[in-house]
């Protein structure tokens, strides 16, 4: 099983599926459909009886039918992973490096560029001493987010199809595009998926189990300036670029990603550009607590009002869009989903580690669409960057975990 999940993972990361947040199409990049079609063909070769691709939107849906000898109808369990990789770092021409029997020391990813995966900066590396790691060559991301999850679900499917002695109910599978740009559930067909409950396989280290995530919004601040020749600008010019910096200075200094952890929320400036005439600031707003989340959005509005009053005009405007909400309220009535995972993890000598997600998953949105959907580990670290890596032994154990859950 270890060899199969590794082979699949290496095959999938070779396909560039990077999504594009600036695109106005869905999926945001057509190349995601290349992997989708590969997965469809592979599932069909395994003998999965129901497999289809949404030709327009790129979703893959599959169902492995129940083989329960008693014929009893039980709830349909689903597993989901996303096919796209983050727009933050290139996902093209990925060159994975396999580190066997890792020695617990720094890993030179790229000698020519002096890119090193160091134990000092990433101390969790030492826990993988003696195991097999897959890293990048330091020039791209790896794609473990979430091709590790895809490989684990596909290997689970292969095991269920080739071992009829593993008794299970109907198992639904879905692979989604555009999760990294927040669109994974935009056109997801709940009926086509057909699950009663589901898990996303989109987390980090072995043992992670998550059913709380951020409430999330995007805020775009539009600043309108007034351009006047600098030689005659006194008391006339309104420099939008400078005013944009003024807006940012009004936000709480400690409420940013680099200074928060756990349940602490933040305002994250993701993009800024401008001139004297006009400027724009783009933020993501995050908080686990819904009340604090709403107050963060209100603060953005109030700062705009405050600065408009200070400058004597309508120079600042906020465009705020909610993206997703904390799944906790939808999962809590179905905590057996969490207990089942904990039970299965303990059978595999995996220590469950329940923590809040400092981000979101397709499962968060799906939970609000009627299918409670916690998140499981996929086995990777340092997602969205050139220092990303995953552990082969973790991927093997997670595949075993999925098989146990299917039986559960």
Which residues are annotated as catalytic?
Answer: 84, 179
d(CA 8, CA 148): 9
SS3 label, residue 299: helix
The answer to whether the annotation marks 349 as part of a ligand binding site is: no
Longest Cα–Cα distance of the chain, Å, equals 87
The answer to whether the annotation marks 180 as part of a ligand binding site is: yes
Q: CA-CA distances (angstroms) from residue 80 to 127, 183, 341?
A: 28, 14, 15
SS3 label, residue 276: coil
| Exposed/middle/buried for residue 326 (C-beta within 10 Å: 0-12, 13-18, 19+) | buried
Give residue for tokens 């010019």: 237
Tokens of 209: 């189990």
Contact status, residue 63 vs residue 194, Cβ threshold 8 Å: yes
The answer to whether the annotation marks 106 as part of a ligand binding site is: no
Q: What is the dihedral of CA 357, 189, 284, 199, to 10 degrees?
A: 10
d(CA 83, CA 150): 7
| Exposed/middle/buried for residue 408 (C-beta within 10 Å: 0-12, 13-18, 19+) | middle
Q: How far is residue 103 CA from its own chain's centroid?
A: 30
The answer to whether the annotation marks 82 as part of a ligand binding site is: yes
The answer to whether the annotation marks 384 as part of a ligand binding site is: yes
3-state helix, strand, coil in the chain (%, to 5): 35, 25, 45
Q: Which residues are annotated as a binding site?
A: 82, 145, 180, 202, 384
Q: Which residues are annotated as a binding site for Zn(2+)?
A: 82, 145, 180, 202, 384
């Amino acid at each position: 099983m270890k060899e199969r999940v590794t082979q699949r993972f290496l095959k999938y990361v070779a396909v560039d599926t990077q999504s594009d947040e600036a695109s106005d199409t869905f999926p945001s990049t057509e190349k995601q459909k290349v992997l989708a079609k590969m997965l469809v063909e592979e599932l069909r070769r395994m003998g999965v009886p129901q497999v289809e691709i949404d030709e327009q939107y790129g979703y893959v849906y599959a169902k492995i039918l129940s083989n329960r000898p008693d014929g009893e109808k039980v709830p349909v369990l689903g597993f989901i992973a996303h096919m796209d990789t983050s727009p933050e770092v290139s996902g093209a021409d990925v060159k994975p490096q396999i580190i066997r029997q890792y020695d617990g020391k720094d890993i030179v990813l790229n000698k020519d560029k002096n890119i090193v995966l160091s134990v000092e900066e990433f101390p969790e590396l030492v826990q993988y001493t003696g195991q097999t790691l897959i890293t990048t060559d330091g020039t791209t991301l790896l794609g473990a987010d979430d091709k590790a999850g895809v490989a684990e679900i596909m290997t689970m499917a292969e095991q269920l199809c080739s071992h009829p002695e593993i008794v299970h109910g109907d198992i639904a599978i879905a692979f989604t595009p555009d999760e990294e740009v927040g669109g994974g559930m935009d056109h997801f067909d709940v009926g086509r998926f057909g699950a009663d409950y589901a898990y996303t396989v989109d987390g980090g280290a072995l043992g992670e189990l998550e059913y709380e995530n951020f409430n999330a919004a995007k805020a775009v601040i539009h600043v309108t300036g007034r351009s006047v020749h600098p030689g005659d600008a006194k008391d006339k010019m309104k420099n939008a670029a400078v005013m944009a910096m003024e807006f940012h200075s009004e936000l709480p200094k400690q409420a940013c990603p680099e200074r928060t952890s756990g349940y602490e929320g933040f305002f994250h400036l993701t993009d800024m550009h401008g001139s004297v005439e006009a400027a724009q600031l783009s933020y993501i707003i995050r908080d686990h607590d819904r009340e604090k989340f709403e107050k963060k959005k209100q603060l953005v509005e109030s700062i705009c009002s405050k600065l408009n009053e200070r400058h004597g005009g309508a120079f600042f405007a906020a465009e705020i869009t909610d993206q997703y909400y904390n799944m906790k309220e939808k999962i809590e009535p179905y905590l057996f989903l969490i207990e089942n995972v904990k039970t299965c993890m303990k059978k595999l000598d995996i220590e469950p580690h329940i923590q809040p997600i400092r981000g979101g998953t397709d499962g968060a949105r799906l939970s609000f669409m009627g299918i409670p959907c916690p998140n499981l580990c996929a086995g990777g670290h340092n997602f969205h960057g050139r220092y990303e890596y995953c552990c082969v032994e973790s991927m093997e154990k997670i595949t075993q975990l999925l098989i146990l859950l299917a039986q559960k």
